[in-house]
Amino acid sequence: MKLPKPLNKYFDHTLLKPEATNEQIDELVKEAKEYDFYSVCVNTCYVSRCYDALKDTDVKVAAVVGFPLGACTTQTKVFETQEAFMDGAGEVDMVLNVGKFKSGDNDYVRDDIRAVADAAHSFGGIVKVILETCLLTSEEIVEACKLSMEAGADFVKTSTGFGSAGASTVDVALMKKTVGDHLQVKASGGIRDYDQCMKMIEAGADRIGASASVKIMEVYNSEH
């Protein structure tokens, strides 16, 4: 399979565990520099630390918002988004309010995403909407993708990595089919090896969120 861009540029090199230490974040940044990944993806308290360490590189900083449940207020998500961008983030990955979505409150969900998208775009940033696909039916995944498009998001993303399951090729393909060229798709959650990674890209993923990015690149480099 011929990739449209270098494999390393698919990766949001990720560390979101609650027990992640300063030293582990610094190691994440070091690896991202070494492999020239697209970005590091971290919790908001680490954005400025990562930005300072990466500002002389083209590796971006992505931050998670409303993470991992998506159930905080819209105003909270907006504040967190603004703070992340002021600290140096280039992108935010926000969690869909799954409970409101499952309640059929589509206007709330659309407005929630739009508020974050507007805040991010005012900084020239990117917004990815984490659907948490393991909690949704196929029909709901399609509907959530459509709401994300209507709200002005830039990406739809499969998972937080904290749910009962992560990305599946079936869900990625369905998301890509739904959004077409209007949005990009990020696969994340449980992508731990090279074969899995390539299957996600083949299914339509434009970006991969992984903590195993280095391991995947080592296999790729050994074969190419």
- 93 annotated active-site: yes
DSSP characters for the chain? ---SS-GGGGEEEEE--TT--HHHHHHHHHHHHHHT-SEEEE-GGGHHHHHHHHTTSS-EEEEEESTTT--S-HHHHHHHHHHHHHTT-SEEEEEP-HHHHHTT-HHHHHHHHHHHHHHHHHTT-EEEEE--GGGS-HHHHHHHHHHHHHTT-SEEE---SSSS----HHHHHHHHHHHTTTSEEEEESS--SHHHHHHHHHHT-SEEEES-HHHHHHHHHHH-
Out of 60, 128, 186, 199, which one is annotated catalytic? 186
Out of 77, 157, 176, 199, which one is annotated catalytic? 157
Out of 12, 87, 93, 154, which one is annotated catalytic? 93
- What CA–CA distance (Å, rounded) separates 198 from 83? 34
- 157 annotated active-site: yes
- 2 annotated active-site: no
Active site residues: 93, 157, 186
